[in-house]
């Protein structure tokens, strides 16, 4: 993929950008969150150097963070360019060269909590911080909010059970690895779609 030239700012501490991946023939979205330790790039598609400099300004990038083992994307490039470590879920250890493996429930950079969502891709993990939820493949928002299609799931039934746990979380914004963010009442919208699916659990 070619480097993306621009990003979009959602809040003072939240940024997104996206590009089309011809290899998997889909849109890929990335998120950056400013934490107390610096910016964290989540599932990063390559962003042009000047764009990262504008986004970070006087701060710094402290890490690359992956939601699952299928989202390496431009992580190795950013790791080398920015001299930062790659963090990835424990369940993704076979697929990515991570410097730090993340446990379910672990709090990263003093404010990002890892929320394991088994059943989607390898090591599927969402991250929650200050009213913002960032998800990988478990939920997508390309043509409307939906759960990851069964054919891409390791275990569709387990994924649905995992997603129900999101109903107890407090977030108003959700960002995706595939699809545009939902800004405002995001928790309600996620709870609604998961609740609707609960009555028709996917087959094994």
Higher confidence at residue 203 or residue 173? 173
Q: Burial code of 158-177, b = ≥16 C-beta within 10 A, e = fewer?
A: bbbebbeebeeeebebbbbb
CB-CB contact of 120 with 153 (8 Å): yes
* pTM score: 0.94
The model's pLDDT over 74-127, given as tens digits with 9 standing for 90+, comes to 999 999 999 999 999 999 998 899 999 999 999 999 999 999 999 999 999 999
Check residue 110 and give its pLDDT: 95
Location of structure tokens 């879920």? 89
Question: What percentage of the chain exceeds 90 in pLDDT?
Answer: 86
Measure the CA–CA gap between 152 and 89, rounded to whole angstroms.
18
Residues found in the chain: 204
């Amino acid at each position: 993929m070619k480097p993306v030239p621009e990003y979009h700012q959602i809040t003072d501490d939240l940024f997104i950008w996206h590009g089309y991946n011809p290899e998997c023939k889909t849109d890929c979205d990335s998120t950056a969150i400013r934490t107390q330790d610096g910016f964290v790039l989540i599932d990063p598609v390559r962003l042009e150097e000047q764009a990262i400099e504008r986004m970070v300004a006087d701060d710094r990038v402290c890490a690359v963070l992956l939601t699952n083992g299928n989202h390496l994307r431009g992580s190795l490039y950013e790791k080398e360019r920015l001299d930062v470590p790659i963090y990835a879920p424990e369940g993704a250890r076979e697929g990515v060269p991570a410097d730090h493996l993340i446990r379910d429930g672990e709090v990263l950079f003093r404010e990002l909590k890892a929320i394991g969502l088994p059943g989607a891709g390898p090591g599927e993990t969402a991250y929650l911080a200050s009213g913002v939820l960032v998800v990988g493949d478990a939920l997508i928002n390309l043509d409307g909010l939906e759960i990851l299609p069964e054919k891409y799931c390791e275990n569709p039934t387990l994924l649905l059970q995992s997603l129900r746990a999101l109903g107890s979380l407090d977030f108003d914004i959700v960002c995706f690895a595939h699809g545009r963010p939902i800004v405002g009442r995001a928790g309600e919208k996620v709870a609604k779609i998961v609740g609707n699916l609960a009555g028709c659990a996917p087959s094994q």
